[in-house]
Homo-oligomer: A and B are copies of this chain.
């Protein structure tokens, strides 16, 4: 329990960074006991030192590069976010023999392979539990607890902003724009909500999850991405009618095809049955559902964002890399030995829910069914509700290549008997 303190360079001191500082101070005794040596802050790199009155002035610096390479720094915590300068600072830290704890999903999703290689070459650690699903222990379980199993599927609600918006749409019947405005007012959505609403944030997390789950390099650019801006009140109402709820899902699957296994990674809104464990994950919470061959179904649930929850994950990693430093080792790195190809969305098997307003004349259902059959799409259920001279058809398909389903929808839109395609959403988690 003694020995020289391990010294940490903190890069960035926003919501997460200041929570890290506070928790490090509050828990100094416990962290010393858990690591075997004290852990103290060597310096804090920020852009505007005058904006951090709570941080001792002698710790503040604007020269992050000098800080990470200082001889009296053992470990680096990077909570700046974004690609640059975080990438250069991380690489400089590795070159100087320092392990890094990061919460940077964008950077890890963009360039994880090169960063892992640099850390491995330097014999140091790169841990980033906080980058996906905030406080929820997820990456370590995937990387270590399930290391003796074969993962087949990871499905997550990994963006709290969109989950809040979709939860409110379901509760109030509001449309997307109205629910977004409420989320912005309450601080659940940022002034520019693009990264959340258009699925960029979830796609970065999906890339990280897929890489770990399938030991395969996957970048954010490999992820098929659709946001929630096109989800309508009608979609949400139609979902409820078939016992489902609409969620923005990050889905990572191993797909066995004729040419061997591949990895499909996608982010899009989908209907899931209300009985599914993910369906009741409301508000700003995150949850990730994992399927493995031996373990079966697992779920991890908790707060996906916020200063304190994210700092909890950062500090868990910091204790781990500090222990490794004390032991003189690096922890298990991330392996990409499987090197599976990423399947294009067109080939990925999905299921669709489609609602149509049709003319209520004999033969319409047969015409519609024929269009699905022509694309080799098998129908699971059809419900037809007549109303005067119009009728509504609600169709849920079996699994088929996504391209066959989207092609079918395009053709339906052109059919004279189809007055309107009122709702199209993929369906996940149905038996």
Interface residues of A, Cβ cutoff 8 Å to B: 1, 19, 23, 27, 30-31, 33-34, 129, 135-137, 140-141, 144-150, 215, 277, 280, 292-303, 306, 308-309, 311-320, 323, 327-330, 332, 335, 337-338
Contacts and interface: CB of A to CB of B under 8 A. Distances in A.
Nearest to A1: B337
Contact of A135 (B34, B295, B316, B329): B295
A30 B294 CA distance: 14
A282 B333 CA distance: 36
B296 A149 contact: no
Contact of A19 (B294, B313, B332, B337): B294
Given A148-B31, A148-B314, A327-B329, A295 B302 contact: yes
A329 B313 CA distance: 24
- Copies of this polypeptide in the complex: 2
Contacts of A146: 137, 312, 316
Contacts of A314: 148
B298 A136 contact: yes
Contact of A302 (B148, B150, B215, B298): B298
A312 B335 contact: no
A149 B316 contact: yes
A192 B206 CA distance: 46
B332 A311 contact: no
A137 B31 CA distance: 23
18 contacts: A1-B337, A27-B148, A27-B150, A137-B141, A140-B145, A141-B141, A146-B312, A147-B320, A148-B315, A292-B312, A293-B308, A295-B303, A295-B313, A296-B303, A298-B301, A299-B299, A301-B301, A327-B329
A306 B144 CA distance: 20
A98 to B, nearest CB: 18
Given A147-B315, A147-B320, 20 more contacts: A27-B150, A30-B150, A30-B215, A31-B148, A135-B294, A137-B141, A137-B146, A144-B319, A147-B316, A148-B316, A149-B316, A293-B308, A294-B309, A294-B312, A295-B303, A295-B313, A296-B309, A297-B302, A299-B301, A327-B329
A148 B296 contact: no
A258 B401 CA distance: 64
Interface centre among A1, A33, A135 (most CB of B within 10 A): A135
A429 to B, nearest CB: 15
